[in-house]
Amino acid sequence: MPHFEGDIDKAAMEESSSPQSSSSVVHDLEPGPAASCPPALTAHGLPNLNEMFDNDDGQFEFGELTEEEIQAATSVPEFAQSVNIPPPSAIHSSGQHTTPELMEIFYQRLFPFKDLFQWLNHFPSPTPSFTNREIAFTLQNDVYLRYQSFPTYDAMKKEVIRLNPSRFEVGPVYSANPRDRKIVRKAAFRPLEKELVFDIDMTDYDEIRTCCSGTKVCSKCWNFITVAIKVLDVALRDDFGFKHILWVFSGRRGAHAWVCDRRARELDDAKRRAVASYLEIVKGGAQTTKKVNLKRPLHPLVTRSLNILRDSFSSAILVDQDPWRAPEQEDKLLKLLPDKVLNQELKKTWEALPDQSSTSKWAYIDSLAKQGVSKSLDAKELMEGKQDVVLEYLYPRLDAEVSKHLNHLLKSPFCIHPGTGRVCVPINSARPETFDPMDVPTVSQLIDEIDEYDATHKANESSEKLADYEKTSLKPYVEYFHRFVSDLMKEELKEKRHRDQENGESLNF
């Protein structure tokens, strides 16, 4: 049994924005007995990747598999078997969002460990992309455990079930096993690769949104996240050529993007800073009057983004948020417009017609401008000023520091948010407007759904056995993640074969 070592690293904890407990210290953990895992199953007699993962003695390489075998191995299984543990009905949440008992059932019966392993590893059998990958756990007592790593898929699954963390985070792939960092030369232990990540959090929109505040979120303010996904996803694909971009709900009021292409994973800190700076347009804190300051003519990124934002500005900002209805709020808009005389006339008009909506006040800008109330007005500057307003209120607000550093840790997909009990599920970036954070299942809801399904189908013993996630509303999210991971693995296989062919031709030459 391998020895897993965990440290409390204060600076690293602050960097990863994970909960910590000042009174809790963990130095070393020795894995205990893990819960039993279901036997590997096959559909129609085809290869099953679980068998490959659990075979530590005979390691498989992608090159040994045919395209048909890979397709079969990475397809969604038609049959599966549940873990043999007490029924979910034995656990009650007592009104809490999560409990250790609920989390234990979730990890044993619902968490997609196989797909998570494939996602981090990129191949069926363990590679350094997985074995040298840092995993950090937040335990139920808020102890934060860093520098965990695992030799196999099975070892990771057993240890997660044993520790039963409230959440866990994914870090970089290191040049050496993170467990050995204290016995290797300091210069020999460094981060080599990690997915390029982005974090969009509603906190950064608090000065704009009027529908909610604090930790609350509704469909109106969720539009900020929807628009951010649309803008950033197309920029990452069109401007950088990335293809494998996974968007994940944070569990409460935000979203994370994981860019998983090999080119993205291998970016160093300087290149990550360059990508983040390229995408960052809204800059400055709450005390900054004007957060968008662009040179003209506009960069194609900005022009394309404006075309996306215009479709949502009227509904998401003017109607849903109505940010300038109150007199003290309308001053924020006037400070962003370039002509002082026009601003004075707008102020007079709005005072004479109190309680005007933001839609009405926005329309008055063009109306008074056309009336010629300001002889010094430059129509082009006014147009540019209005463009800046649209960008300031609706362009994605990035937590750029998350993207700039290779060693940053980010919460794993399919973790449970402790404050809401909701699962951190993937978001379909092709249709982000269809995602509703209020519809995302909670851990207690999922366990109730298993109970309900089992009770309904108990009489029919001959019915097809399903994996527990297939009995719940988590099913479409797991299957979306599975397809994403399968596509990523297939591309990695093609690249590997291409490299092997090039190396073979070089040797033959």
Kindly report the number of other CB atoms within 10 A of residue 269's CB atom: 13
Which of 5, 195, 201, 204 is catalytic? The answer is 201
Angstrom CA distances, 230 to 277, 278, 311, 432, 487, stand at 18, 16, 12, 7, 21
Angle at 489 between CA 483 and CA 490, to 5 degrees: 90
Residue 201 bears catalytic tag? yes
Q: What is the Rg, in whole angstroms, of the alpha carbon atoms belonging to the chain?
A: 26
- Confirm if 309 and 227 have CB atoms less than 8 A apart: yes
CA distances from 313 to 199, 290, 327, 330, 337 (A): 22, 18, 21, 17, 17
C-beta of residue 267 within 8 angstroms of C-beta of residue 195: no
Q: Which residue of the set 115, 199, 320, 399 is catalytic?
A: 199
Distance CA(314)–CA(346), nearest Å, equals 20
CA distance 472 to 475: 6
Alpha-carbon separation of residue 292 from 97, 206, 288, 374, 383 (angstroms): 39, 17, 10, 24, 14
Say how far apart CA 148 and CA 496 lie, in whole Å: 28
For residue 421 the two structure tokens come to 């009990």
Torsion of CA 176, 178, 184, 190, to 10 degrees: 60
Catalytic residue among 134, 261, 339, 388: 134
Name the residue among 134, 156, 135, 74 with its Cα closest to residue 492: 74
Of 182, 183, 116, 193, residue with least CA distance to 150: 116
Q: Phi, psi (5° rounding) for residue 415?
A: -70, 165
Q: Helices marked H in 323-357 — which ranges?
A: 327-334, 340-352
Neighbours of 417 (CB within 10 A): 22
DSSP for residue 423: B
Whether 468 is a known active-site residue: answer no
Return d(Cα 219, Cα 215) in angstroms, integer: 14
DSSP 58-120: S---GGGS-HHHHHHHTSPPS---------GGG---TT-S--HHHHHHHHHHT--HHHHHHHH
Mark whether 199 is an active-site residue: yes
CA neighbours within 13 Å on the CB side: how many for 107?
23
Structure tokens at 276: 């983040």
Measure the CA angle with vertex 5, ends 4 and 9; round to 5°: 145
Paired with 191 in beta bridges are 174
Q: What residues act catalytically?
A: 134, 199, 201
